[in-house]
Amino acid sequence: MSEPLGLYLHVPFCRAKCRYCDFFSAPGDEAAQEAYTGALIRRIRALRGLAGLRPFSSVYFGGGTPTVLGRARLVRLLDAAADVGLAPDAEVSVEANPATVDRAGLAALRRAGFNRLSVGAQSFDPGELALLGRLHGPDDVRRTVSDAFAAGFENVSLDLMLGLPGQTVPRVLSSVRAALETGVSHLSAYCLKLEPGTPMARDYPDGRGLPDGDETADAYLAAAAALSGAGLEQYEISNFARPGRACRHNLLYWTLGEYVGLGPSAHSDFGGRRFYFPRGAGFSAPFSSVFDGTLPEETDREEERVMLSLRTAAGLDLSSLAPETARAAAEVLSAVAARGLAAPTETGFRLTPEGFLVSNQIISEILLKGMS
Amino acid sequence: MSNTENIRNFSIIAHIDHGKSTLADRLLEACSAVSSRDMTDQLLDNMELERERGITIKARAVNLNYTAADGKTYELNLIDTPGHVDFNYEVSRSLRACEAALLVVDASQGVEAQTLSNTYLAVDNGLEILPVINKIDLPAADVPRAKKEIEDIIGILAEDAPCISAKQGLNIPDVLERIVRDVPPPKGDPDAPLKALIFDSQYDPYRGVIVFFRIFDGTLRTGDTVHMMATGADFDVVEIGKMHPLGLAPCGELGPGCVGYLTASIKSLRDTAVGDTVTLAARPAAEPLPGYRKAQSMVFSGIYPDDGSRYPDLRDALEKLQLNDAALSFEPETSAALGFGFRCGFLGLLHMEIIQERLEREFNFDIITTAPSVIYKVRLRSGEEVTIDNPQNWPDPAGIDCAFEPFVRASIITPPEYVGSIMELCQERRGIHKGIDYLDPDRVEVRYELPLNEIIYDFFDSLKSRTKGYASLDYELIDYRPSQLLKLDILLNGEPVDALSFIVHSDKAYARARKIAERLKDNIPRQLFEIPVQAAVGGKIIARETVKALRKDVLAKCYGGDITRKKKLLEKQKEGKKRMRSVGSVNLSHEAFMAVLKLDE
């Protein structure tokens, strides 16, 4: 069997910009969407014959809001990817915002080969949803998930946000419970991070008015415990899944697997290089070779291995590191393990939920020690 | 040889920001053959060049030719003075080189503390005082009031003082005519043994030290061998000349009353101390000019490179600064907390700040400075007396018979409404009230004797903030007095941090200890474990705070395989950690060290 290879397709359209979001997206009319879909298909086709290319083990439609494109365009895009090569058991994910797609639409996507749906719920609290600038309410989430099940999706995920203004532990737990009640088998829980230039960053200058680190830590640990208790195992800092439902595509990012990203702001790690399409115009222009217009990204595998594998429950395999880094990692990790922030594994160490929360500290400590 | 009848030597004194430099520029323009724009450009170029070559400030004296209304051409020597209380001695030497001083008073501000102290200094040095009212173009200008204050407070006639706007170039010729009329021409015997006063010197990498002087008696010629009467050094003069606005102008000889420069391949500023008397080795003067004293460091602090590997660079930088600043002293010191650094001595707080700022700006250093300390004197039970400029060297309390600390005489001039809060501040700082004088309805002089150790922290900032910036401060060292002094130690995670120790009066130990523990708690970044912060005197803990363990970092997504955000966060974190000092197991930031220095809320 060949090494897995992921395909990420960026859909830079949204109906409205959420107040916390600084990902690349813009409202687009029919013509812009059609033009963009065409451009994306041309790039997908151009992947054919690329050295090292093999059938995709996963395809991920992210955004933006991919479902804004409408099912016909999404299907055309997936067909284009399948023409290039799709493994028979490929995981095909699409992100959807609640109430942006109906049961018939979902059924059409399922029939076309989509088999995983990630629903951007963010919260089940109407106040929190309004504050984030979301266009949906809690019931829209429930309906979209039940529509997805009815349409034949078995692999459905919800996103939740932690660290929202006024969010207490009980309120987080009630969102988590509501999420579990929908019957999803996967859940992502992200801590709000104010991105410069977003409306929320202006609303809460320097984070004033947001829960502090301790309160957010409490919320995170409570959510993690509730999810594990319900059988959704934590397999990454922010991701929880029933056995067998971990997102194979996202796992590629954390295990230094290969992936190709197409679209403005999409990143690739392919053929030993990291590179990305910059934001903004240019992607749709004619090209002579599929990665025309990309910019190179600095690559340091050793650092990436430490940084990315410590995000996962599998943890860091010390034997995969250079001796100096391995020594530094063992030193730092065994010290923090004594405080309950890490735990030994067969091959090295993993971080505990408490450790995930301070992973920057731990990782930067290792990198400073190992590379000085 | 120039006739002393046509020479006018003067300086300009003023409170800070009253327009001294602007007036100087205008006088230069008015006397210069070149156009004002050319000259300004030229001067700026010169300064830039000087800066590139490691020279700091523009020449402190300039020689101007002015053709007066009487048709005669006069040689005007403007001798600039440094503008701050720390440099009082330098100011007094510059003043000694003149016959008169222009007293510039801001028409909108009136007389202020430094106006007074500088005027007294000028009067003490026997100078004529020529008042000049500046900034008459300001809407808030009140010329009659400014004149009245000069007459009432300083006691000199100001009725016919020139009223000018240096900024707008208004009435500048009035000032020049006044200089010609009222500045007494210098006296002196060209045939007497040489007596010249050094009022400034500068290091130039190509010519060695350039010495700026004023001749009182005798004549100096190129090729003479000169003798420095205080330092005892002899040099063969390579070049002498005058300081023209556009550069040094060599000449063959200089006589009494002349202000000029000499170069003599002098390698170190230490041989050319400000205030020293230059004479001829072959025919020395019997007595030097009066009043010489060595520059004395009053304030000491440890300076450490933020990045320990730059220690040798820091030494180079301090050496370079010292070339131009003989008052800066430094010697290596080590701290368990901060590693290798230097114990530096300064004339005062401003001097310290200037040096710190120059290290950061001109030499691109991130530095950590320890709490400033004054020089304490300690009499031990053994009878021995020691001087302590570093808290780390404080003797064991059991061996101390008596400790002494320096006191200053402070004069604060303020609008009357702030007297209460100033007295409160001085009282808090262990001041001894010496009197209040009502200078005029809007101005009060508050006099205190204060321990220098209370002034060097943040006294000036507190004074400014309590008086909305209106109060001005002047002080001078008077004596050493017995005092109940203690060494306060700071412990982090149970380990003493030497660089955070300082000396405190026993009455203030508890309050200070609590405040510092609090400050440190707020400024020590939370780490992966809890950190006790303790303040102790002689092993007894008198204050305690706790820095709680860090529980959450910013967590970045790796959305769509974009790991750059995460990388950026880690980079930032790594940079932050590199900038921290590891003390035992505790990481201390620059801010934590600096927090100890700021005590007033």
Q: Give the CA dihedral B185, B187, B189, B194, nearest 10 degrees.
A: -100
Tokens of residue B587, six digits: 């990481």
Q: What is the pLDDT of residue B553?
A: 85
How close are the terminal C-alpha atoms of chain A, in Å?
39
Q: Write down the mean pLDDT value for chain B.
A: 85
CA atoms within 13 A on the CB side of B155: 4
At A33-81, the pLDDT tens digits run 999 999 999 999 999 989 999 999 999 999 889 999 999 999 999 999 9
Shortest Cα distance, chain A CAs vs residue B545, angstroms: 19
At B11-46, the pLDDT tens digits run 988 876 777 778 888 888 888 754 455 555 444 334
Residue B596 has pLDDT above 80, yes or no: no
Contact between chains at A62 and B559 (C-beta distance less than 8 A):
yes
- B contacts of A214 (beta carbons < 8 Å): 548, 551-552
| Ramachandran category for residue A274: left, alpha or beta (phi over 0 → left; psi -120 to 50 → alpha) | beta
Residue A219 has pLDDT above 60, yes or no: yes
How many angstroms separate the CA atoms of B302 and B343, rounded? 4
Q: What is the pLDDT of residue B1?
A: 42
Phi, psi angles (nearest 5°) of residue A282 = 115, -35
- A contacts of B556 (beta carbons < 8 Å): 193
Top pLDDT among A255 and B48 is at A255
Give the CA angle between residues B348, B353, B359 to the nearest 5°. 130
- A contacts of B527 (beta carbons < 8 Å): 361
Q: What is the pLDDT of residue B86?
A: 60
How many angstroms separate the CA atoms of A259 and A269, rounded? 5
Please check whether residue B51 touches A, CB under 8 A. no
Phi, psi angles (nearest 5°) of residue A86 = -135, 130
- B contacts of A359 (beta carbons < 8 Å): 553, 555
Contact between chains at B551 and A213 (C-beta distance less than 8 A):
yes
How close are the terminal C-alpha atoms of chain B, in Å?
62
Top pLDDT among B541 and B371 is at B541
Of residues A261, A360, A365, nearest to B569 (C-beta): A360
Instruction: Report which DSSP code applies to B280.
Output: E
Residue of B nearest to A238 (CA): B557
At B404-422, the pLDDT tens digits run 999 999 989 888 999 999 9
Please check whether residue B309 touches A, CB under 8 A. no
Tell me how many residue pairs between chain A and chain B have CB atoms under 8 A apart: 104
Strand A239-241 to strand A186-191: parallel, antiparallel, or no bridges (unpaired)? antiparallel
How many angstroms separate the CA atoms of A211 and A168, rounded? 8
Contact between chains at A360 and B577 (C-beta distance less than 8 A):
no
Crossing angle of helices B459-466 and B419-428, rounded to 10°: 160
Neighbours of B408 (CB within 10 A): 24
Q: What is the pLDDT of residue A78?
A: 98
Q: What is the pLDDT of residue B82?
A: 61
How many angstroms separate the CA atoms of A260 and B412, rounded? 72
Q: What is the mean pLDDT of residues A323-329?
A: 94
How many angstroms separate the CA atoms of B256 and B254, rounded? 7
Tokens of residue B535, six digits: 């303040």
Contact between chains at B570 and A360 (C-beta distance less than 8 A):
yes
Q: What is the mean pLDDT of residues A247-251?
A: 97
Contact between chains at A276 and B555 (C-beta distance less than 8 A):
no
pLDDT band at B592 (very low <50, low <70, confident <90, very high): confident
How many angstroms separate the CA atoms of B187 and B7, rounded? 10
Q: What percent of chain A has pLDDT over 90?
A: 85
Q: What is the mean pLDDT of residues A165-185?
A: 96
- A contacts of B577 (beta carbons < 8 Å): 364-365, 368
Contact between chains at A267 and B574 (C-beta distance less than 8 A):
no
Calculate the alpha carbon distances from A276 to A36, A258, A259, B561 in Å: 17, 13, 11, 10
* Residue among B560, B535, B553 nearest B545 (CA): B535
Residue of A nearest to B561 (CA): A253
pLDDT band at B83 (very low <50, low <70, confident <90, very high): low
Q: What is the mean pLDDT of residues B136-163?
A: 91
Of residues B548, B551, B559, nearest to A358 (C-beta): B551
**Which residues on neighbouring strands pair with residue B340, listed in sequence order?**
B334
Contact between chains at B550 and A361 (C-beta distance less than 8 A):
yes
Q: What is the pLDDT of residue B43?
A: 47
Cα–chain-centroid distance for residue A184?
Answer: 16
pLDDT band at B54 (very low <50, low <70, confident <90, very high): very low
Each domain of chain A, given as residue ranges in start order, spans: 5-253, 301-371
Top pLDDT among B206 and A147 is at A147
- A contacts of B568 (beta carbons < 8 Å): none
How many angstroms separate the CA atoms of B494 and B531, rounded? 9
Q: Give the CA dihedral B366, B370, B372, B376, nearest 10 degrees.
A: -150
Contact between chains at B559 and A193 (C-beta distance less than 8 A):
no
Residue of B nearest to A296 (CA): B564
Top pLDDT among A49 and B484 is at B484
Contacts of A153 (CB under 8 A, 6+ apart): A106, A110, A114, A115, A116, A117
Residue of A nearest to B562 (CA): A267
Q: Write down the mean pLDDT value for chain A.
A: 94
Shortest Cα distance, chain B CAs vs residue A139, angstroms: 26
| Chain B 528-567, residues with CB within 8 Å of chain A CB atoms | 528-529, 548, 550-564, 566-567
Residue A199 has pLDDT above 80, yes or no: yes
Contact between chains at B561 and A253 (C-beta distance less than 8 A):
yes
Residue A334 has pLDDT above 90, yes or no: yes
Top pLDDT among B41 and B537 is at B537
What is the DSSP code string of A293-360? T-EEE---HHHHHHHHHTTBSS-EEGGGS-HHHHHHHHHHHHHHHTTTSEEE-SSEEEE-HHHHHTHH
At A287-301, the pLDDT tens digits run 999 999 999 998 899
Top pLDDT among B76 and B567 is at B76
How many angstroms separate the CA atoms of B149 and B155, rounded? 9
Q: What is the pLDDT of residue A68?
A: 92
pLDDT band at A260 (very low <50, low <70, confident <90, very high): very high
Q: By mean pLDDT, which of A105-109, B274-278, B436-440, B582-586 is the weakest?
A: B582-586
Of residues A266, A274, A363, nearest to B560 (C-beta): A266
Contact between chains at A359 and B553 (C-beta distance less than 8 A):
yes
CATH of A5-253, one of 3.30.70.360, 3.30.300.340, 2.40.110.10, 3.20.20.70: 3.20.20.70
Q: What is the pLDDT of residue B88?
A: 66
Contact between chains at B577 and A365 (C-beta distance less than 8 A):
yes
Contact between chains at A361 and B556 (C-beta distance less than 8 A):
no
Q: What is the pLDDT of residue A1?
A: 60
Tokens of residue B459, six digits: 């006294």
Contact between chains at B528 and A357 (C-beta distance less than 8 A):
no
